[in-house]
Amino acid sequence: MTDYLASADEALLQRHGLNDFEALWALQLDAVDEPNTGRGGWSSVFRLELEGKGFYLKRQSNYLTRTLHRPFGEPTFAREFRNISRYEKLRIPALQAVFYGERKGNGQHRAILMTRALDDWRDLDSLLAQWPQLAAGQREGILKACGQLARTLHAAGQVHGCFYPKHIFLRERREGWLAQLIDLEKTRPLLMGMRDRLKDLEPLLRRARAWGEGDVRSLLAAYLEQPGDSSLVDTWLQRLVRRRREKEAR
C-alpha cells in the first residue's frame, strides 16, 4: 500500500523532515494517554504541533483486527483511514487524515495515522456539562447541528456505530453551528433502514442526560426535516425512548 500524505500538509511536513513513515515513527513525543495493549501489540496517541497547527499522531505495532476479508489481520488504523476517506468522498463532516502508512518486517506490522487536531472545536460532552448555562439560541443551534449531522450520515448510507457525545465535535459560527464526527473505526453500511438509524441514534440520547424531551424533539426535527410537533417526530421519539428503556433495563 502506498503511503497517503495530504497535499495541503505536504510542504509543512517536508519543512520539518516529517514527510515519510520512518521519520514520523522515530519522532520523540509524549503520549497523550496510556497506550492500548492487547491484540498481540500496542497502540498509542501523541500530540504534535508544527508552526501553530495541531495534529494527532497515532502509532501502533501488531495491533491488529481480523475479519472474514482479512483473516490474517490488519492494523485497526487501516479501517479507520478507509472510513475517513469514505466520509470525505461522501461529504460527511469528519476529522481529516494527514498521513497514513504501514510497514511489515522483523515480526512487526506497524501503522501510522496522523490527523488534524480539532483545536477550534468542542466535543458535545463538554457542552452538555454546561447545558443549563448555555443561551437558548446556542442550545437550539447545537441540537440542529447534531440532527443535521446524523441526517447527512444516514442519507449517505452509513452507520457510525459509536454516535456518542464525545465523538461529535461542534463549532459556533456566525451563520450557525457546525458539527463533525471522529472515531470512525466502527462505521459500517446502513442496511436495515429505520432499525439501523434508531440503533445509531439511541446511544447519543442515552448519554445526553442533560437533554429533555423538548431538546430531543428539536434534534429529531432537524434529523427528519419535520416540525417538532409532527406525528413523525412523535413516532421516532417513542421508539427511541422504548429502545433506551430496554437498554437501561439490561
Burial class of residue 2, CB neighbours in 10 A (0-12, 13-18, 19+) = exposed
**CATH number of the domain enclosing 203:** 1.10.510.10
Q: What is the rounded distance in angstroms from the CA atom of residue 100 to the CA atom of residue 88?
A: 15
User: Pairing between strand 53-61 and 36-38?
Assistant: unpaired
* 181 and 89 within one domain: no
Count of structural domains within the chain = 2
Rounded mean pLDDT of the chain?
94
pLDDT at 1 over 70: no
Residue in the structure block whose three cell numbers are 483486527: 65
In which band, very low, low, confident or very high, does the pLDDT at 17 lie, cut at 50, 70 and 90?
very high
31 and 110 both lie in a single domain: yes
User: 67-116 pLDDT, tens per residue?
Assistant: 777 877 899 999 999 999 999 999 999 999 999 999 999 889 999 999 99
Q: How many CB atoms lie within 10 A of CB 250?
A: 4
Q: How far is Cα 179 from Cα 150, in angstroms, rounded to an integer? A: 10
Q: Place 189 in a pLDDT band, splitting at 50, 70 and 90.
A: very high
227 in the same domain as 164: yes
**Cα Dmax for the chain:** 62
Over residues 44-67, the pLDDT tens digits come to 999 999 999 999 999 999 999 887
Contact (CB, 8 A) for 62 and 109: yes
- Selection from 201, 213, 132 nearest residue 168 by Cα: 201
Is this model's pTM higher than 0.85 or not? yes
Q: Are the C-beta atoms of residues 80 and 184 closer than 8 Å to each other? A: yes
Q: Which of 69, 90, 116 is the last residue of a domain?
A: 116
Tell whether 58 and 172 lie within a shared domain. Answer: no
229 and 140, same domain (yes or no): yes
Same domain for 109 and 132, yes or no, is no
Q: Which CATH number fits the domain that encloses residue 103?
A: 3.30.200
Q: In the structure, what pLDDT confidence band is assigned to residue 15 with cuts at 50, 70 and 90?
A: very high
**Are 87 and 174 part of one and the same domain?**
no
Answer whether residue 5 shows pLDDT above 90: yes
**End residue of a domain, out of 101, 116, 131:** 116
Whether residue 141 sits in one domain with residue 194: yes
Residue 135 and residue 226 in one domain: yes
Q: Which range marks the domain in which residue 30 is found? A: 4-116
Q: Do residues 100 and 208 share a domain?
A: no
Residues 93 and 129 in one domain: no
Of the candidates 67, 83, 116, which is a domain's last residue?
A: 116
Could you tell me if 136 and 238 lie in one domain?
yes
Q: Which three cell numbers stand for residue 208?
A: 445526553
Instruction: Give per-residue pLDDT as tens, 175-187.
Output: 899 999 999 999 9
Cell of 131: 447545558
CA–CA dist 207, 166 (Å, integer): 10
